[in-house]
Structure 1
Amino acid sequence: MLQTLLAFIVTLGVLVTVHEFGHYWVARRCGVKVLTFSIGFGKPLLRWQRGEVSWQLAAIPLGGFVRMLDERESPVDPADVSRAFNRQTPIKKILIVAAGPVANLLLAMLLYAGLFSYGVDAIRPVAGQVAPASMAERAGFRAGDLITAINDRPVASWDEAFVALLDGAGDAALVQLAVQTASGRHETRLLPLGELGRSVYEPRLLIRLGLTPYPLTTAIARVEPGGAAAKAGLLAGDIVVSLNGKPLAQWADLQAALQSGAVPMSLAVRRGDHVRQLTVTPAPVEVNGKVIGRLGLEPAIDKALWQSYQTRLQYPPLQALSASLKKIGIQTRLTLVMFGRMIVGKASLDQVSGPITIATYAGESARLGLSSYIEYLALISLSLAVLNLLPVPLLDGGHLLYHGVELLTGRPVSPQVEAIGQRIGLTLLLALMALALFNDIHRLFLG
């Protein structure tokens, strides 16, 4: 818990500082007087004066701000009028406002480039298991198949494959995958992702397809306290040997059975030298209008096979920078596509995350090591940049829209229009925050 909290504070602290420093640095270069540089909102916990600028750390670490001299906010000394933000040309205003998101983009680019140059541990996109009667099996996938390209885009890891699948789903209902089978043959698989509808954009996409990235065994690694499996008497270390009287060859067969919903199932499990017969009734869970079963189990991974799936991606500096820019381009496009599809109802709003989820993933990435945390930091920095550039009043993108209008018309947007825009922007942001918090709480307590 403490590590999660610290990782969350460090993450927000770094991202907010970089973002606000972008505004600050360009404002100073444009001759604008900066009054306050604040990390956090609310009552200042720590404040010091350096030159003309008051620097402070405030109580609520969910953002920050750079306050500049502005005649619209308070009277300005005649000697400083030329240094007021509102007196600057539209081009300078645009540069100052855009500098925050650009700083976050640059941070993401440098972090990704550094990771690619140092080397990133990754998992080769091998199908560990394929669920019976799943979309993947119908497309011809078999355990051991290695995905080499998606829609003619080479992929070297499951991370790249997952992003390419989502990106491809935004363009067409049918996605083409180049595959090398376990025997070395090169074949093509076609996945009709259009059949999944909105669920194509869920984090559990691979499970929906019937693909398991990990080589799973039928041994149980973890039993969720209070879950259906725990109530039936299953324990960590048990090995499931049969399902409803039939030998269980792979964990994917059990996952397939759960698609039938909360139907009682008979499991034979080996515990030590004995085999026990247990009956378990899965908990009903609704996913996209369909009720499936949930046991509350985590299977163990075949560690020997898992080692063969691991790889390391490492590039020379220039190639690392190129790979970084490519990754940023793909993720930015994917973010905008998913955002647009949420607006028109083609992607679920369940994917919107708030501070609790961000804190959870920050803590998890920190526990996985420095490389994982840096990659997570780069992703959140990129997301912050894209979000801030959306043309919504109160965000940087909204201000850029106003200054763009001023550049085209030769006069600033009227205070009345700004006031209306602020009310609309505030309403939208509050609704988004409420949705994100609701999703966070739902994930926290209901999974």
Structure 2
Amino acid sequence: MLAFLWNLGAFILALGILVTVHEYGHFWVARKAGVKVLRFSIGFGKPLIKWYDKLGTEYVIALIPLGGYVKMLDGRVEEVSAQEHHLAFNNKPVSRRIAIVAAGPIANFLFAIIALAAMYMIGVQSVKPVVGEVTPASRAAAANLSSQDLILSVNEQVVTDWQDVNFALMAALGESQLVLKVKDAHNALQIRQVYIQGWKLDQQDVPPLQSLGITPFRPAITTEVAQVGSQSAAEQAGIMVGDRLLAVNGEAFSDWFDFVKVIKNSPEQPLTLQVARNNQTLDLVATPSAQTDNDGNRIGVLGVAPRMENWPTEYIETRHYGPLDSIVLGGQKTWELITLSFDMIGNLLTGQVSVKNLSGPVGIAVGAGNSVSYGLVAFLSFLALISVNLGVFNLLPLPVLDGGHLMYYIIELIRKKPVSEKTQELGFKLGAMLLLALTCFALMNDVARL
């Protein structure tokens, strides 16, 4: 329950920030274009807080925090007096209407630049992309990629961490090969050619690295207990943080994963655990509780987490940048995210990426909660990513989105007359149905991940 509330709170905070930025873009340009703004609302439904400014605009924070809107004076929606005819949105030149509609997504892109620039100025700590393991008979193995290889570039694009590598891999979908420049375990520069003809991300939640057969380096997991769950089977058995697990029912195990395998295969079965504590060896009796995994199998759960060895200092890099360099880097990264987002939409349409990888509000909430847990820098990075996705999504040519309105206004600009109201109404209905179907599908994916 605590995790749910944490994720929910982080989701509302993140969505509130991004929706405010998006709608303020529309609001600010509408004011500059001479359009009267009637309401600026964050959220839908019953107003929780509202106030007015000197120009008569109503500001609202509403009950349902799943979006927002800017209501402008518009003769197509309500009657407009002769005195305010010049203040109505529909009476403005098409160029101004295009500017007002485009301002929302543009505001999201500008916010991403600012968030990333702030992140770079604070300092970014990242893990160098060092290969941990290579899956036998995989595409990576066929390219002779090896453990301890440090990836320096992907298709001549310099990479400094695993996020860079993942983005570069996704951008390469549909190509025939990847050219990786690496530094091997002997510090020698090598070129690895990974053939990716026919490579697709067609499985749910299987990241690009894993599908190519690459496992990033991670410090070794020890058999020392780092956490004990409250009211868990481990706590009831007397297991304590710092205990080193040695054997189960008199049989020693080689690593943590062997221990986990025994526990999973022993739901509600008493086990004698041998542990080392303060230079003593103790025998404790623990009965793993029973749970059902995602495949419907009954497994045992003890309620402990292991300690990992420390990261090698040479694998961790912290980078700080000045204000000007941070803004430039923020702009470059934002452009990369925009182009990547459009590429992913294209890959979804062509089947290169499975629609099973779509994520909805639940997935965003979990991501927001996790990023907040990792600190301000991670949260800023998350906000920038979602802000770009929100901006790109709103540019899709669906009539209920900004992109759909832009499509109509661009047609009007070319034809010198507006699209008929009947055509627009039909487009809005179809767009709403498509958007609802897409949202439902993304929610179903989220539920399947729980």
Q: Same fold (TM over 0.5)?
A: yes
- Residue of structure 2 aligned with 1:87, choices 70, 86, 91: 91
Equivalent residue, structure 1, for 2:147: 143
Equivalent residue, structure 1, for 2:437: 431
Most deviating of 185-194 and 84-93: 185-194
Equivalent residue, structure 1, for 2:309: 302
**What letter is aligned with 1:391?**
P
Measure the CA separation in 1 of the matches of 2:246 and 2:175.
Answer: 40
- Residue of structure 2 aligned with 1:40, choices 43, 54, 57: 43
Q: CA deviation at 1:130?
A: 3.2
Give secondary structure in 2 for the equivalent of 1:311: strand
Deviations 1:45-77 (A, max 9, x none): 222222320111111110001000111111111
**What letter is aligned with 1:48?**
W
- Residue of structure 2 aligned with 1:60, choices 60, 64, 70: 64
Measure the CA separation in 2 of the matches of 1:136 and 1:159.
Answer: 18
Deviations 1:306-334 (A, max 9, x none): 44321112223332222222211222122
- Residue of structure 2 aligned with 1:116, choices 112, 115, 120: 120
Deviations 1:384-434 (A, max 9, x none): 101001111110000000110111111111110111100110011100110
CA contact (8 A) 1:201 1:338 kept: no
Equivalent residue, structure 2, for 1:99: 103
Alignment pair present for 1:191 and 2:194 = yes
- The 5 A counterparts of 1:11-410 are 11-50=14-53, 51-168=55-172, 170-194=173-197, 196-199=199-202, 202=205, 204-208=207-211, 209-217=213-221, 219=223, 272=276, 301-303=308-310, 305-410=311-416
Q: CA deviation at 1:128?
A: 2.7
**What letter is aligned with 1:314?**
H
Most deviating of 137-146 and 49-58: 137-146
Measure the CA separation in 1 of the matches of 2:145 and 2:245.
Answer: 26
Give secondary structure in 1 for the equivalent of 2:131: coil
CA contact (8 A) 1:124 1:156 kept: yes
Contiguous gaps of at least 5 residues in structure 2: 231-239, 267-272, 284-291
Most deviating of 184-193 and 68-77: 184-193
Deviations 1:10-51 (A, max 9, x none): 111111111111111100111111111111111212222223
Measure the CA separation in 2 of the matches of 1:263 and 1:189.
Answer: 41
Task: From the superposition, tell whether residues 263 and 131 of structure 1 become closer, same or farther in structure 2 (CA, over 3 Å).
Answer: farther
CA contact (8 A) 1:199 1:205 kept: no
CA contact (8 A) 2:129 2:216 kept: no
Give secondary structure in 2 for the equivalent of 1:55: strand
Measure the CA separation in 2 of the matches of 1:159 and 1:153.
Answer: 13
Measure the CA separation in 2 of the matches of 1:284 and 1:350.
Answer: 20
Most deviating of 309-318 and 421-430: 309-318
Measure the CA separation in 1 of the matches of 2:351 and 2:312.
Answer: 38
Contiguous gaps of at least 5 residues in structure 1: 226-234, 276-282, 287-293
Equivalent residue, structure 2, for 1:279: none
Give secondary structure in 2 for the equivalent of 1:198: coil
CA contact (8 A) 1:126 1:213 kept: yes
**What letter is aligned with 1:398?**
G
Give secondary structure in 2 for the equivalent of 1:61: strand
Deviations 1:245-271 (A, max 9, x none): 9x96997x999x9xxxx999xxxx985
CA contact (8 A) 2:222 2:309 kept: no
**What letter is aligned with 1:17?**
T
Measure the CA separation in 2 of the matches of 1:314 and 1:138.
Answer: 37
Q: CA deviation at 1:109?
A: 0.6
Deviations 1:288-323 (A, max 9, x none): xxxxxx9999875331x4443211122233322222
Task: From the superposition, tell whether residues 172 and 223 of structure 1 become closer, same or farther in structure 2 (CA, over 3 Å).
Answer: farther
Q: Output the aligned Cα RMSD.
A: 4.0
Deviations 1:361-390 (A, max 9, x none): 111111111111111111111111010011
Task: From the superposition, tell whether residues 36 and 318 of structure 1 become closer, same or farther in structure 2 (CA, over 3 Å).
Answer: same
Measure the CA separation in 1 of the matches of 2:375 and 2:307.
Answer: 22
Give secondary structure in 2 for the equivalent of 1:149: strand
**What letter is aligned with 1:422?**
F
Measure the CA separation in 2 of the matches of 1:198 and 1:442.
Answer: 18
The count of aligned residue pairs is 427
- TM-score for the superposition, normalised by structure 2: 0.82
CA contact (8 A) 1:42 1:60 kept: yes
CA contact (8 A) 2:182 2:190 kept: yes
CA contact (8 A) 2:122 2:377 kept: no
Give secondary structure in 2 for the equivalent of 1:31: coil
Measure the CA separation in 2 of the matches of 1:152 and 1:249.
Answer: 39
